[in-house]
Amino acid sequence: MQAKFVVLPGDGIGPEVTRAARRVLEAVASQFGYSFAFDERPMGGCAIDDYGDPLPQATLEACRAADAVLLGAVGGPKWDDPNAKTRPEAGLLDLRKELGLFANLRPIVAYDQLIEASPLRRDLIEGVDILFFRELTGGIYFGDSWLSDDGSHAGSVMEYSVGEIERIVRLAAVAAGNRSNRLTSVDKANVLEVSRLWRRVAARIMADEFPDVDYEVVLVDAMAMHLISRPRDFDVVVTGNLFGDILTDEGSMLPGSLGVLPSASLGDGRPGLYEPVHGSAPDIAGEDIANPLATILAAAMALRHSLDLEEAAQAVEAAVGAALDAGLRTKDIAAGGPAIGTTAMADAVVAAISREL
């Protein structure tokens, strides 16, 4: 088994957490006898500094030729000037669009070992295991947007085509079929025409192609509430780009820390893009205290979804579980107790991989 990873360390803590994930992938390769190649490329704020472009053409070409792309995080105060020509985030949006990554999978799993780190009560979140499918290349993020010449009006349009809705609903429904057979579609059909189309198309796909999946629709404002009051009632959730952006940040508080949440962005073909849900955390960059587990778990998703190496993916997930079982915690999940650093956490996961196999 040979595979080529492009690594986009990005900004802030991105280089530290991708380094940790890369070490874990190298450990997996040596355990299972795979051959993984890694190609690091600039993207985000650092690429603006060096090339005047958050997604240089050479980086994009390298990504297209990869089996999987592992991204750290982009952005930081240095590039926050609202009048700047371009921003690091623009590079991320372009990369999603250029690679056709229309499905963003965000698992929200409440690890039993970390429940005390959550701001919510144990009885609410114990056993939470939700898989969000956020549409990623359409909706208001990519609709027409304008600012009037005199600067007094602006608009951003939320648009979806039937085809865009069909493909994300299908993927989510297939995933639901492989899990507990429940799918929730989230929209704002009581107000938005685009949501009424979403709801009609989703209902048709579900009735025609997935009649056995238990399907429900929930309005986005109500979903914001249910996610906190009864998160265990949800299994697979599918929604549009903006609603998914907001709900997954909300959901990320269920496990107690953003530091353990990975995400995968998939299209029709190769490659997939894998990244932690957290951002670049510039305030703690370079201190070796960031939690690398989200990026390590994103690497596990890459093994599963882009390389079809389910066994290896599970080995990584088990190794993360073993490190948590051993009581190892980075600062963000230590709840005030003793904490280890980024490198030490990666060491523990690497050691657990070789121990378990």
CB of 299 to Mg ion, least distance (A): 20
Supply the minimum distance, in Å, between the C-beta of residue 37 and Mg ion. 30
Within 236-275, the residues that bind Mg ion by CB under 5 A are 245
- Told to check if 89 binds ligand IPM by CB under 6 A, we report yes
Taking the CB of residue 77, how many other CB atoms lie within 10 A of it? 11
Residue with tokens 């472009």: 53
Determine if 13 is a binding residue for ligand IPM (CB under 6 A). no
Cα angle: 282, vertex 284, 289; to 5 degrees = 140
Contact between 261 and ligand IPM per CB under 6 A: no
> What is the bridge-based pairing of β-strands 272-276 and 262-266?
antiparallel
Question: Binding pattern to Mg ion, positions 203-242, x when CB under 5 A?
Answer: ----------------------------------------
With binding defined as CB under 6 A, does residue 92 bind ligand IPM? Answer: yes
* Tokens read off for 38: 């890694």
Query: Token pair for residue 292?
Result: 């690398």
Q: Is the dihedral of CA 189, 193, 196, 197 positive or negative?
A: negative
Kindly tell me which of 245 and 250 has the beta carbon lying closer to Mg ion. 245
User: Least separation, in Å, of the C-beta of 43 and ligand IPM?
Assistant: 12
Does residue number 89 form part of the binding site for Mg ion (CB under 5 A)? no
Are 299 and 312 in contact by the 8 Å Cβ rule? The answer is no
User: In the structure, how many helices (H) and strands (E) does the chain have?
Assistant: 12, 12
Closer to Mg ion by Cβ: residue 113 or 263: 263
- Looking at the Cβ atoms of 97 and 196, the one nearer to ligand IPM is 97
Give the helix/strand (H/E) hosting 134: strand 129-135
Indicate the residue among 231 and 276 with the shorter CB distance to ligand IPM.
276
- What amino acid positions are annotated as catalytic residues? 141, 188, 221, 245, 249
Least distance between ligand IPM and beta carbon 289 (Å):
22
Closest CA to 245 of 133, 98, 91: 133
Decide if residue 94 touches ligand IPM (CB under 6 A).
no
Q: How many residues does the chain have?
A: 357
Enumerate binding residues for ligand IPM (CB under 6 A). Answer: 89, 92-93, 245
